[in-house]
Amino acid sequence: MYRYDELDQSLVEQRSAEFRSQVERRLAGKISEAEFKPLRLMNGLYLQLHAYMLRVAIPYGVLSSKQMTKLADIADKYDRGYGHFTTRQNIQYNWPKLIETPDILDDLASVQMHAIQTSGNCIRNVTTDPFAGVAADEEVDPRPLCELLRQWSTLHPEFAYLPRKFKFAVTGSAVDRAAIKVHDIGLRVKSGPNDTVLTDIWVGGGQGRTPKIAQLFKANLPVEDLLPYLEAIMRVYNRYGRRDNKYKARIKILLAETGLEALQQQVEAEYQSIDQTAFSYIESEYARIAGNLIKPEYHTATEAPTRTNAEFEAWRRQNVKPHKQSGYAIAVVSLKPAGGIPGDATSIQMRAIADIAERYSSSELRVTHRQNLILPHVLESDLFSVWELLVKVDLAEANIDLPSDIIACPGLDYCALATARSIPIAQSVSKKIRATELTTDLKGVSVNISGCINACAHHHVANIGVLGLNKSGVENYQLTLGGRNDQNASIGQRIGPGVAADDVPEAIERIVNFYVDVREIHESLPDTFDRVGKEPFREAVYG
Amino acid sequence: MGDDAQIVYSDGRIETRNAQSTTGFQQVDGETDPGTLTPFTTQSIIVNFNSIADGRGFSLVKAIRQNTGYQGAIFASGDINPDHLSFAFQVGFDAVIVSAERWQKYGGDSWRAALNPAVRLSYSQTHSKSLQSIWQQRHRI
Ligand code: SF4
């Protein structure tokens, strides 16, 4: 992982001091809530249904044991002993007191963390492949670019008041685990000739009420030219992006209304006008960051794994992924116990996993887009010991990439924008589907549940999407099928009228059973859906 | 003070001016498309921020200098509060014109404090004397 130097550290401490003075002015009544709002939103502090919510950045999802322990301490000291990991690879605290938020930020700064730009109409925390740097199929490690983007976008004065929030995702593999095609800008890093790094820029993906798949905007741009090019895109978006309607303010709408070619021309013209000398250090900065990544020391396994049992084998089959270093494995830790709250972890669990990472994973952890955690560098011969420790803190659910590995947003239990609950739905769905997936092969079937059209749980690009709405005061859940968030990203289709909260688990069960009945060998749910069409699925659910 | 505006300069000076003394300055809206800029004839330009929720004025200052070759002073005015002062100087505004009403609303103390910002570092290049560029420092350019 990237290690801060003194300058990175000072900036985070200074930002924390600045926020402290803003909070003090608010508490002293010198500024109104209306004036405070844009200031707190620049720093991840939301006013939710019941309390403030603080969103803490976990840049590109990477964190150390020490940082995870600090997150646990914060959960105990300032919150109710738990935290919620999000699809943006961040963590949210649901119950902090305003007066204590500056102290939380100081505590975060002490371990090289912050809440900068986790909200507001600015460039948000950059996300990436949770297997970055360790995936067996990776072409280029995306982390140096992610860190470069973090630095570039941090407190960038030109892009702090955009028409709307702006999200970047980066991947370095042909198999896209970062969902780059449903972000405002998705970047695919590739290796070019003579050890160069090239990037493909995908623009205009997004979710919300107008879901869009990104379009290839620029191919094979050398990484050292990327920042001025992105600056050009951001300026053109800032200039022409709509400000009259917040639902039409994202770059996906600008792209749709302007047309790909015209927008490319505008960006090219802006790019030509940018003073390139201001970016002459990018190449060396990229190299400096890449050189500053703490790389684990890999050892050769001293002993062959001996201990095993059926439960462990089930966990290994489901939760352990291939590592690029032979003898090592990536262990995915599920935060989705059947009937539990997706993405929630208690301080006890956070400390436990921090300890496990320290002993068995070079003190490193990851947060995934699917709201799980990762131990990225585990010796295969240590897997059984790791599993035993996970079992002790209820973190050994063997359901990664199965339907019960549900993504759910906070919904009506916390979120001020929600139209329906999502957490209780996720709980009842996972309880029911878990029984089925234990006896039937449902690998790869994804279920995402959003509590409103803002689609924070990315339901549009789930194989099975659930959207909670409010129909004359009653919660109603729309079902979409066939979405994908990988390199073949596609938007799911509605299959019929919404169903009542209590009927969601049964409806999903029917979808899954029908899929199992008609699928061809190795056929994914979206592929089956594409092949047989909407009608038979509709029939299966409502018939 | 009455109706007098305060001009807060990037070098820390604060000057009181009566409201009329900025007549003759050329006014430009922060939302102006840089492609439509024509050469300026005055020695002072004011970029007006109608709403701080719209940050285009922070890009415009660069475009004014680059596209038109303008070398005079550029002021920011409008919906700027003490928390935006640092950004304004970072992108190259020479000063911010603060109306009497705004000066009073936030208090002279807050405006003066903002000249000495808590955040003294930025990654990219900066025109502000109270900010240091981390990238420039790392790569000594
Ligand atoms: S999808 Fe809606 S309810 Fe869920 S977190 Fe986002 S805004 Fe809130």
Count up the domains in chain B and report the number: 1
Q: Which two tokens stand for residue A56?
A: 């803490």
Helix intervals (H) in A448-524: 504-518
- The yes-or-no verdict on residue B75 having pLDDT over 90 is yes
Cβ A280–B34 below 8 Å, yes or no? no
Taking any CB pair shorter than 8 Å as contact, residues of chain A touching chain B are 5, 7-8, 10-11, 14-15, 17-18, 21-22, 25, 30-31, 35, 38-39, 121, 151-152, 154-162, 235, 238-239, 243, 273, 275, 278, 280-281, 284-285, 288
Alpha-carbon distance of A403 to A12, in angstroms, equals: 39
Kindly report the backbone phi and psi dihedral angles of residue A44, in degrees, each rounded to the nearest multiple of 5, phi listed first. Answer: 75, 15
Position A315 scores a pLDDT of 97
Measured in Å, residue A342 CA sits from the centre of ligand 1 at 14
Mind listing the pLDDT tens digit for each residue in A353-379? 999 999 999 999 999 999 999 999 999
Q: Is the pLDDT of residue A300 over 90?
A: no
A47's tokens: 């006013």
- In the predicted model, what is the mean pLDDT of residues B116-132? 92
∠ CA A107-A108-A114, rounded to 5° = 145
Tell me whether strands A45-47 and A197-203 are parallel, antiparallel or unpaired.
unpaired
- ipTM of this predicted complex? 0.95
CATH topology identical between A6-109 and A407-542: no
The CATH homologous superfamily to which domain A142-292 belongs is Sulfite Reductase Hemoprotein, domain 1 (3.30.413.10)
Question: Would you list the domain boundaries of chain A?
Answer: 6-109, 142-292, 310-392, 407-542
Chain B residues whose beta carbon lies within 8 Å of the beta carbon of residue A241:
none
Say whether A531 sits in a helix, a strand or coil: helix
Q: Do B120 and A22 touch (CB under 8 A)?
A: no
Is A42 a residue whose pLDDT tops 90?
Answer: no
A60 three-state secondary structure? helix
pLDDT at res. A295: 87
Comparing alpha-carbon positions, the chain A residue that sits nearest to B63 is: A273
Ligand 1 center to residue A151 CA distance, Å?
28
* Ligand 1 touching residue A53 (CB < 6 A): no
Mean pLDDT across chain A, nearest whole number? 95
Ranges A45-49, A331-335, A342-346, B87-91: which has the least confidence: A45-49
Specify the pLDDT at position A96. 93
Q: Between the CA of residue A310 and those of A76, A307, A320, A397, A401, what are the distances in Å?
A: 36, 11, 15, 13, 19
Using the structure block, give the residue that is written with the tokens 């505004």: B93
- Pairwise CA distance, residues A269 & A261, whole Å: 12
Query: How many angstroms separate the alpha carbon of residue A457 from the centre of ligand 1?
Result: 8
- Give the nearest chain A residue to B134 (CA atoms): A7
Find out if CATH 3.30.413.10 is the number for domain A407-542: yes
Residue B1, pLDDT > 60, answer no
DSSP H helical ranges for A440-524: 504-518
Choose among A206, A203, A215: nearest CA to A247: A206
- How high is the pLDDT of residue A410? 93
Chain B residues closer than 8 Å to A160 by CB? 55, 58, 87
* Ligand 1 atom showing the smallest separation from residue A415 Cα: 8
Which of chain A's residues have a Cβ under 8 Å away from the Cβ of B107? Answer: 30
Ligand 1 contact, A56 CB (< 6 A): no
Q: CB–CB of B106 and A30 under 8 A?
A: yes
Out of A90, A419, A452, give the residue to mutate to test ligand 1, the one with the largest number of ligand atoms within 8 Å of its CB: A452
Pocket test for ligand 1, best of A209, A246, A417, A453 (most atoms within 8 A of CB): A417
Is pLDDT at B141 greater than 70 in this prediction? Answer: no
pLDDT tens sequence across A435-480: 999 999 999 999 999 999 999 999 999 999 999 999 999 999 999 9
CATH class as words, domain A310-392: alpha beta
Q: Atom 6 in ligand 1: which residue has the minimum CA distance?
A: A456
Is B83 close to A243, i.e. CB distance below 8 A? Answer: no
> B28 lies in which domain range?
5-139
CA A419 / ligand 1 centre spacing (Å): 8
Question: Domain A6-109 is in which class?
Answer: alpha beta
pLDDT at A509: 97
Q: Do A157 and B106 touch (CB under 8 A)?
A: no
Q: Are the C-beta atoms of A164 and A246 separated by less than 8 Å?
A: yes
Mean pLDDT of chain B: 91
Q: Nearest-CA distance from B20 to chain A in Å?
A: 29
